[in-house]
Amino acid sequence: NAGVTQTPKFRVLKTGQSMTLLCAQDMNHEYMYWYRQDPGMGLRLIHYSVGEGTTAKGEVPDGYNVSRLKKQNFLLGLESAAPSQTSVYFCASSYAGGAYEQYFGPGTRLTVT
């Protein structure tokens, strides 16, 4: 099992460009999450999904959109990138919410110039 994979691993964007980050999991998990990690801070939740076709806002959703068309995939989109979105993005999945551990992908390092 590959677990949670993320594509791409690195990306450099110019201000105003758009891109989509792909997260895929092969554990048949219902719940999926997108976080961002900035220096000196813990992870902050951007959006999450509790099942195929559902999405919800997390703590810092502005400037991002998500889609969960297939159970195994969770896409994070930036429509018009800003330098403040320079960060490392992590995807995670879990069997369910509540007292279940989350499995994390390796991360995508995004730089917006």
Partner 1 sequence: SQQGEEDPQALSIQEGENATMNCSYKTSINNLQWYRQNSGRGLVHLILIRSNEREKHSGRLRVTLDTSKKSSSLLITASRAADTASYFCATDAGDSWGKLQFGAGTQVVVTP
Residues that bind partner 1 (CB under 8 A): 4, 31, 33, 35, 40-45, 48, 50, 56, 58-59, 90, 92, 94, 96-107
| Min separation Cβ 107 and partner 1, Å | 6
Nearest CB to partner 1, comparing residues 3 and 16: 3
Q: Which DSSP letter does residue 39 get?
A: T
| Min separation Cβ 88 and partner 1, Å | 9
In whole angstroms, give the CA distance from residue 101 to residue 30. Answer: 13
Nearest CB to partner 1, comparing residues 26 and 79: 26
Query: Do the Cβ atoms of 29 and 74 come closer than 8 Å?
Result: no
| Min separation Cβ 45 and partner 1, Å | 6
Q: How far is Cα of residue 95 from the mean position of the Cα atoms in its chain? A: 17
Nearest CB to partner 1, comparing residues 85 and 94: 94
Nearest CB to partner 1, comparing residues 14 and 101: 101
Q: What token pair was written down for 83?
A: 């330098």
In whole angstroms, give the CA distance from residue 17 to residue 66. Answer: 17
In whole angstroms, give the CA distance from residue 60 to residue 68. Answer: 18
